Amino acid sequence: MRSPSPSLLGLVGRAALGALVLVAVVGPLLSLGLWSVAERWHWPAPFPQQVGMKYWSRMLQGDPLRALTRGVTIASVTTVLALAMAVPVAYLAARRRLPAGPLALALFILPQAFPQLPVFASATVLFYRWNLAGTVPGVVLIHLVGGLVYAVWTLTAAFRSIGPELEEAAQNLGASTTRTFFRVTLPLAMPGVVASAILVFLHSLDEFNGTLLVGAPYVTTLPVYMYTASLGYELQIASVTALVLMVPGVVLLLLLERFLRAEYLAFFGHL
C-alpha cells in the first residue's frame, strides 16, 4: 500500500490548522451573535427557541447607550490629553534632548510592568483622598496611566524615523525651531500621531479594571456595563454589548494598519 506523500500530509496539516483557527475565532463570535438575538433559549435546545431584536433595541436606549456615549467621551478626552503630553516628550526623546532619556521613557512603561489590579487599587486610595473617585476626571486620569505608554513609545518611534537633516535644512533657510517643528517635523510624523491616537483611544474605550475601581458606582462605561450584565446572567445584554464594543475596535485597527508604517516599527524599543 502506497503511503501518503509528504506534500499531501503537509496540505492536510495546514488545512486542519486553518480549520482549528477558524473555529477558535468564529466560534465565540457565533455564540455572541446567537445570544444577542435569543429572546428565549433553554437547555438542552442547541439553538434559540425564539429570536428577535428585543435586546438590540434596548441597546439604543437607556443605560447601555449612556454607557457607550460616556465611554467614547472619556476615550476622546484621554486621547487628546495623552497626545498633548506625549508629543513634546517623544520629540525630545527622539532627538536625544530629554534628560536621562532612557530612564524617562522607562518610567512611562513602569506601571505596565506590574499587575494592573494592585496598581489601580493603590491609585484608587489616592483618588478618594483627592475627591476624584467616582468622577469622570478621575477615570480619565487612570486611563492616562496606560494611554501615555502607547502615545510616548509610538510617537518616539515616529519622530526617530524622520531624519534630523530635514530640520537642519529648514533651519539653515531661516526657520525657527518652533516653525520647523510645526511646518516640517509634525506633518511628516502625522501618520504616527494618528496611529498613536488610535491606540490610546482603543485602550481607553476598552479599559475595565481602572474604570471599575475608580469610577464605580457613578461612572459606567460599556466594558463595566457588560461585566455587570454578565454577573446578573443577562447573557443577551452582555452579548449585544460585546458586539457593539467590537465594532470601533475592528474599524480603528484597520485604520491603524494603514497609518502604522514599517519604519516606525523599526525604531520601537530603541532607547
Same domain flag for 132 and 19: no
Let me know if residue 161 belongs to a domain.
yes
Let me know if residue 223 belongs to a domain.
yes
pLDDT digits (tens, 9 = 90+) for 194-236: 889 998 999 999 999 889 989 888 898 999 988 888 887 788 8
pLDDT digits (tens, 9 = 90+) for 148-173: 888 988 898 889 888 888 888 888 88
| Backbone φ/ψ region at 216: left (φ over 0), alpha (ψ -120 to 50), beta | beta
Structural domain including 148 reads 55-265
Same domain flag for 42 and 68: no
Same domain flag for 96 and 34: no
Query: Do residues 136 and 153 touch, judged by C-beta distance below 8 A?
Result: no
Where b means 16+ CB within 10 Å and e means fewer, 13-28 reads eeeeeeeeeeeeeeee
Calculate mean pLDDT across residues 31-54: 82
Same domain flag for 103 and 218: yes
> What are the phi and psi torsion angles at 4 (to 5°)?
-60, 145
Same domain flag for 213 and 99: yes
**Largest distance between two CA atoms of the chain:** 83
Question: What is the reported pLDDT for 266?
Answer: 47
Kindly report the pTM of this predicted structure.
0.81
Residue corresponding to grid cell 530635514: 166
Question: What is the reported pLDDT for 101?
Answer: 57
CA 196 – CA 194 distance, rounded (Å): 5
Let me know if residue 1 belongs to a domain.
no
Same domain flag for 127 and 148: yes
Same domain flag for 122 and 70: yes
Highest mean pLDDT pick, 2-11, 20-29, 39-48, 217-226? 217-226
Let me know if residue 271 belongs to a domain.
no
Query: Do residues 191 and 158 touch, judged by C-beta distance below 8 A?
Result: yes
Query: Do residues 146 and 154 touch, judged by C-beta distance below 8 A?
Result: no
Of residues 25 and 147, more confidently modeled: 147
**What CATH code is carried by the domain that includes residue 99?**
1.10.3720.10
Number of domains in the chain: 2
CA dihedral of residues 90, 91, 92, 94 (deg, nearest 10): 80
Same domain flag for 235 and 196: yes
Question: What is the reported pLDDT for 82?
Answer: 95
Same domain flag for 171 and 115: yes
Same domain flag for 151 and 239: yes
At a CB cut-off of 8 Å and minimum separation 6, what does 143 contact?
A: 74, 75, 78, 203, 204, 207, 210, 211
What pairing do the DSSP bridges indicate for beta strands 50-51 and 38-40? antiparallel
Of residues 216 and 189, more confidently modeled: 189
Same domain flag for 29 and 85: no
Query: Do residues 33 and 243 touch, judged by C-beta distance below 8 A?
Result: yes
Let me know if residue 270 belongs to a domain.
no
Question: What is the reported pLDDT for 8?
Answer: 64
Same domain flag for 16 and 97: no
